[in-house]
Chain A
């Protein structure tokens, strides 16, 4: 950088006046700000008694869940798109032939390593059947690493826990299907 460059605009700092040189207005101003905040409202949310208000639970990227369809079966069709999309390689799926006539495959086991997951939400975007979704549960913790590797049962239980507060993306379609079906809401006896 040349100092005589035409594009450089030299800006003079305004000289300090008498008040500025006495430090007094700044001292008073600093103290006023401090005292205002000392008695002002506090931002702290006292977790775990209070919970953070999550503005958009559907957009929040927390713990995963595996959605169930209207008969209570796992929605996943074991297409491996989520496992392929996952940048952290935390999804492990073992596919098996489906016992149900409406699809070819289903996941015999579906495991997510929550310690490895970076909660980017790409699995959710990749899923063609809206089977995997991220919930707004943010405080997952465990006492061992094994505990943090979520298997299919656990992921489905997360769905059971959160389905009322956060309906599936495709809930509209499912609700319509439920209305048409006489045994709506009942869990099937088929393997899940």
Chain B
């Protein structure tokens, strides 16, 4: 019974927190985008019926009310069942994956109470596989929505989006495998605790894995520079062309949640989760004060990653579709495999003799990791499988001329 109540409280907190976070991150994104474009961004909406502005903090509420009261137009040519189901699938898949995101374990210090694991699904041994599996369901939301829209632009957008999501899932998984192999566990808590125990974050030892994971999660969340499914400057909206009102909002919020989930995973896997040297301690269980500090540290890291996502959006141009696919299959997948093999070789053959020789394990791993990043990056650059010659083929011009003269 206690477990049920505890779980319900956790679910309410995490869903409420996520919805609030998604709404306010939209505001943050608009402000950041405005600053980057030398504007100020929405800073007017404050408390209604007063002159109080609060830096535009009322804007998400106004946006939400507007979205809810908008006309929800369903075109006559759609497949109604799938059309209605698709955004729900996308939304539910996006929100359910937060069930396995661990915020640490808190010991309330009350006699008879076991320490509370601050995660909706505690003790989930396959945490990372669960997240990976659930986030893949987003592809169904995209495909169903685009197919049910019965519109060729939506369909093209959906096919592109699906190809992109499926392709980048492979480097994503391979990058995760490197971390899983180094930790020896699929539990996200264990991955964080391993980083906290040694004080060496995985970003130091597996920078190549981070690179692959970062690029793949950019692509998975469908944001610039990989947003060709929508590419709002060039195409109509992509797979959500035919959607409006609250259904469109579900799609947009789901995409936002994917970005948030990607940021959470990056922090959990590579930046030590709730751990910060000298601030949070390094044991798995913490008292209530330390637990709060841990949550704050964790959320601050996640926010930093999200800000990086937002700034990256305005920094780099969009990839062409063949470049996107080339980057996934010819660059990121091999790099991820190199990282995986290197971690495996390290664990199987190198770790024991080097540690026995008295070398500090973390330092050696970090040096090896960054060397690997340099060498592999250089090799990938030199081979440059993603840089395609896109210049017009002069021989084609000559052939065309010959053919015309022959006529």
Evaluate contact between B311 and A3: CB separation under 8 angstroms.
Answer: no
A175 partner residues in chain B, CB cutoff 8 A: none
Q: Is A43 in contact with chain B by the CB < 8 A criterion?
A: yes
Contact with B along A14-40 (1 / 0, CB 8 A): 001010011000110011011101111
Tell me, rounded to whole Å, the shortest Cβ–Cβ distance linking B124 to chain A: 36
Evaluate contact between A2 and B38: CB separation under 8 angstroms.
Answer: no
With A3-B397, A10-B394, A18-B382 known as contacts, the answer to whether A34 contacts B36 (CB < 8 A) is yes
B394 partner residues in chain A, CB cutoff 8 A: 10
Q: Is A4 in contact with chain B by the CB < 8 A criterion?
A: yes
Interface centre among A4, A27, A44 (most CB of B within 10 A): A44
A2 partner residues in chain B, CB cutoff 8 A: 401
Evaluate contact between B311 and A34: CB separation under 8 angstroms.
Answer: yes
Evaluate contact between A43 and B384: CB separation under 8 angstroms.
Answer: no
Evaluate contact between B315 and A30: CB separation under 8 angstroms.
Answer: yes
With A16-B387, A37-B36 known as contacts, the answer to whether A31 contacts B312 (CB < 8 A) is yes
- Which partner residue on chain B sits nearest A37 by CB separation? B36
B401 partner residues in chain A, CB cutoff 8 A: 2-4
B377 partner residues in chain A, CB cutoff 8 A: 22
Contact with A along B369-386 (1 / 0, CB 8 A): 000000001101110100
Contact with B along A112-156 (1 / 0, CB 8 A): 000000000000000000000000000000000000000000000
A12 partner residues in chain B, CB cutoff 8 A: 391
Evaluate contact between A18 and B35: CB separation under 8 angstroms.
Answer: no
Chain B residues touching A, range: 20 to 34
Evaluate contact between B315 and A33: CB separation under 8 angstroms.
Answer: yes
Q: Is A46 in contact with chain B by the CB < 8 A criterion?
A: yes
A34 partner residues in chain B, CB cutoff 8 A: 36, 311, 314-315
In angstroms, Cα B373 to Cα A22, docked, is 13
Q: Is A42 in contact with chain B by the CB < 8 A criterion?
A: yes
A46 partner residues in chain B, CB cutoff 8 A: 40
In angstroms, Cα B110 to Cα A61, docked, is 75
A40 partner residues in chain B, CB cutoff 8 A: 38
- Which partner residue on chain B sits nearest A2 by CB separation? B401
Chain A residues touching B, range: 20 to 34
Tell me, rounded to whole Å, the shortest Cβ–Cβ distance linking B190 to chain A: 33
Q: Is A41 in contact with chain B by the CB < 8 A criterion?
A: yes
With A3-B398, A3-B401, A27-B316 known as contacts, the answer to whether A38 contacts B311 (CB < 8 A) is yes
Q: Is B407 in contact with chain A by the CB < 8 A criterion?
A: no
With A3-B398, A31-B315 known as contacts, the answer to whether A44 contacts B39 (CB < 8 A) is yes
B380 partner residues in chain A, CB cutoff 8 A: 22
In angstroms, Cα B350 to Cα A2, docked, is 65
- Which partner residue on chain A sits nearest B377 by CB separation? A22
Evaluate contact between A3 and B38: CB separation under 8 angstroms.
Answer: no
B382 partner residues in chain A, CB cutoff 8 A: 18, 21
Tell me, rounded to whole Å, the shortest Cβ–Cβ distance linking B226 to chain A: 13
Interface centre among A3, A4, A35, A40 (most CB of B within 10 A): A3
In angstroms, Cα B383 to Cα A16, docked, is 12
In angstroms, Cα B314 to Cα A12, docked, is 30
A35 partner residues in chain B, CB cutoff 8 A: 311
Evaluate contact between A21 and B384: CB separation under 8 angstroms.
Answer: yes
- Which partner residue on chain A sits nearest B397 by CB separation? A3
Q: Is A13 in contact with chain B by the CB < 8 A criterion?
A: yes
In angstroms, Cα B39 to Cα A38, docked, is 9
Evaluate contact between B38 and A43: CB separation under 8 angstroms.
Answer: yes
Q: Is B233 in contact with chain A by the CB < 8 A criterion?
A: no
Evaluate contact between B381 and A18: CB separation under 8 angstroms.
Answer: yes
Partner of B35, one of A26, A33, A37: A37
Evaluate contact between B381 and A38: CB separation under 8 angstroms.
Answer: no
B400 partner residues in chain A, CB cutoff 8 A: 3
A22 partner residues in chain B, CB cutoff 8 A: 377-378, 380-381
Interface centre among B312, B315, B380, B382 (most CB of A within 10 A): B315
- Which partner residue on chain A sits nearest B384 by CB separation? A21
B311 partner residues in chain A, CB cutoff 8 A: 31, 34-35, 38
A21 partner residues in chain B, CB cutoff 8 A: 381-382, 384, 387
Q: Is B74 in contact with chain A by the CB < 8 A criterion?
A: no
- Which partner residue on chain B sits nearest A30 by CB separation? B315
With A3-B398, A3-B401, A10-B394 known as contacts, the answer to whether A43 contacts B39 (CB < 8 A) is yes
Tell me, rounded to whole Å, the shortest Cβ–Cβ distance linking A125 to chain B: 36
Q: Is B198 in contact with chain A by the CB < 8 A criterion?
A: no
In angstroms, Cα B397 to Cα A40, docked, is 48
Supplied contacts A30-B317, A37-B37, 8 more A-B pairs, CB within 8 Å: A21-B381, A22-B380, A27-B316, A34-B36, A37-B36, A38-B32, A42-B35, A44-B38
Q: List 30 A-B contacts (CB under 8 A).
A: A3-B398, A3-B400, A4-B401, A10-B394, A12-B391, A16-B384, A18-B381, A18-B382, A21-B382, A21-B387, A22-B377, A22-B380, A22-B381, A26-B316, A27-B315, A27-B316, A31-B312, A33-B315, A34-B36, A34-B314, A34-B315, A37-B35, A37-B36, A37-B37, A37-B38, A38-B36, A42-B40, A43-B39, A44-B38, A44-B40
